[in-house]
Amino acid sequence: MHTFHHPDFTAARFADVPDARFVPAPADGVLPDGFFTTTNLPTYVRVAGQWRLPAEPRMDAALVLDPAGDLWAREGRRVRAGDRVAVGRAEDGSEGIFVHAAVFAGDVDGDDEFQFMTSEVSREKPIDYGQMARLLVDERERGGYVVWVAGPAMVHSRARADMTWFVRHGFVSAFLAGNAVAVHDIEASIYGTTLGMTERGQASAGGHGLHMRAINRVRAAGSIAAAVREGTVTDGIMHAIVEQGVPFVLCGSIRDDGPLPEVLTDAVAAQDAMRAHTTRATMAVLVATALHAIATGNMLPAFVMEDRATGRPTSRPRGTSPADWPALHELPTICVDSSEFVVSKLKDRGTHQAFGVVTNAQDFLHILRLYVERELDARVATTATRTAAEAARA
């Protein structure tokens, strides 16, 4: 895992910089002229002579200093009349705001060869499944928050069983998707088909309407969770998510059938629901979805903040001196798609840290599962060997 260095604000270049300037928002949801627009990189704001990091960092937001003196990255729609909003366009500190772009120019510690930040997108690049497996196991062991974002190809490509395995074994902290993912997964549970196709790719009689019948069964039950409890849905991704208590967000679109009861059809409400998880994310895995991957990427910072006192991830940094600042390291973001275009688009939209895996969802999840199982076995063996050695020394 790569750790970023904070800037040296004792350097001469920062000696005479002013405090950031804050101007009241003129109306609810309206930012003052010249407001500063955030990126997903570590950003430091000078307030009352001290450099500070904003809470809940993300790109495409404003910097707001609340009445309690706390600094936030907030979407324009969440700003209220009178809120103090940072203004300025310079990112070099000359206006009291410094964007630490050097974290993507070699300013990192760590000796892993696998670097998300420097990876170009190509189907010709080798895929380091071993390193991805180690990252996932590490996140589970340290209590990290791994956000998975999925598209319906995950179900169509028969990756359903492997995704279910990841859920049941504690590698999924939150699951973000659209109506179609849940519908097709539930159709597979009830009827054994996805969009009327069997797992062998053969059309079934009346299959074109089976997804609608699946939706109707869930709506009759009242919710996905209720359909699981009453035995209508007996296996699959959503079944495992409900049984394991994994939070999920299903976002609607204009083309949705039904939709399922839990689907959020208000786009702003859906974004807020997703944001509740991206602010906690310590790793993200985006599989076979262009729109949801880009949406999630826009809400993710490129880095994770960890409280130095507790060692736990935090989205609300405290302290105004470098000794109190949280430790920073990259937020591993894996984007999987059969097309290079999707991964390139995600990086072009500003998700610099995204590592592209150009392959289909079925192969990715199945191979990754095998490597994770191998990693788990290796750690058990290492622990057993260490225990035996300690017992022999005793």
Q: Give the CATH number for residue 369.
A: 3.40.50.10690
In a shared domain, residues 156 and 34: no
**Mean local confidence (pLDDT), 82-108:** 87
The pLDDT of residue 311: 83
DSSP string, 285-314: EEES-HHHHHHHHHHS-SEEEE-TTT--B-
**Mean local confidence (pLDDT), 19-31:** 98
Q: Which of 51, 69, 102 marks a domain boundary? A: 102
The pLDDT of residue 206: 60
- pLDDT of 116 higher than 50: no
Per-residue burial over 203-220, b if 16 or more Cβ lie within 10 Å, else e, is: eeeebeebbeebbebbee
The pLDDT of residue 345: 81
Place of tokens 């130095």: 308
**Mean local confidence (pLDDT), 371-383:** 96
Q: Is residue 153 part of a domain?
A: yes
The range of the structural domain enclosing residue 234 comes to 112-385
The pLDDT of residue 114: 38
In a shared domain, residues 168 and 41: no
Q: Residue 325's closest CA among 92, 63, 55?
A: 55
Asked whether the beta carbons of 372 and 131 are under 8 A apart, the reply is no
- Lowest-pLDDT range of 18-22, 84-88, 293-297: 293-297
Length of the chain: 394
Q: If pLDDT is split at 50, 70 and 90, which confidence band does 347 have?
A: confident
- Lowest-pLDDT range of 25-29, 373-377, 390-394: 390-394
- pLDDT of 18 higher than 90: yes
Please tell me whether the peptide bond between 301 and the residue prior to it is cis, using omega within 30 degrees of 0: no
In a shared domain, residues 140 and 285: yes
In a shared domain, residues 122 and 89: no
Q: If pLDDT is split at 50, 70 and 90, which confidence band does 253 have?
A: very high
In a shared domain, residues 258 and 323: yes
Q: Which of 102, 132, 163 marks a domain boundary? A: 102
Angle at 386 between CA 385 and CA 392, to 5 degrees: 90
Residue 224 CB-density burial (10 A; 0-12 exposed, 13-18 middle, 19+ buried): buried
The mean predicted confidence, pLDDT, of the chain is 90
In a shared domain, residues 193 and 87: no
- Lowest-pLDDT range of 106-110, 277-281, 308-312, 359-363: 106-110
In a shared domain, residues 93 and 198: no
Q: If pLDDT is split at 50, 70 and 90, which confidence band does 113 have?
A: very low
The pLDDT of residue 5: 87
In a shared domain, residues 268 and 174: yes
Per-residue burial over 284-302, b if 16 or more Cβ lie within 10 Å, else e, is: bbbbbbbebbbbbbbbbbb
Q: Give the CATH number for residue 51.
A: 2.40.420.10
- pLDDT of 115 higher than 50: no
**Mean local confidence (pLDDT), 38-57:** 95
CA torsion 115-3-172-132 (nearest 10°) is 30
Q: Is residue 390 part of a domain?
A: no
In a shared domain, residues 94 and 121: no
Q: Is residue 195 part of a domain?
A: yes
In a shared domain, residues 95 and 116: no
- Lowest-pLDDT range of 66-75, 263-272, 385-394: 385-394
- pLDDT of 258 higher than 90: yes
Q: Is residue 391 part of a domain?
A: no
Q: Is residue 134 part of a domain?
A: yes
Asked whether the beta carbons of 333 and 354 are under 8 A apart, the reply is yes
Q: Which of 76, 102, 128 marks a domain boundary? A: 102
Q: If pLDDT is split at 50, 70 and 90, which confidence band does 123 have?
A: low
**Mean local confidence (pLDDT), 103-128:** 54
Instruction: Domain count for the chain, please give it.
Output: 2
What is residue 127's three-state secondary structure?
coil
In a shared domain, residues 120 and 90: no
In a shared domain, residues 116 and 214: yes
**Mean local confidence (pLDDT), 359-374:** 96
Give φ, ψ of 383 to 5 degrees. -65, -40
The pLDDT of residue 349: 75
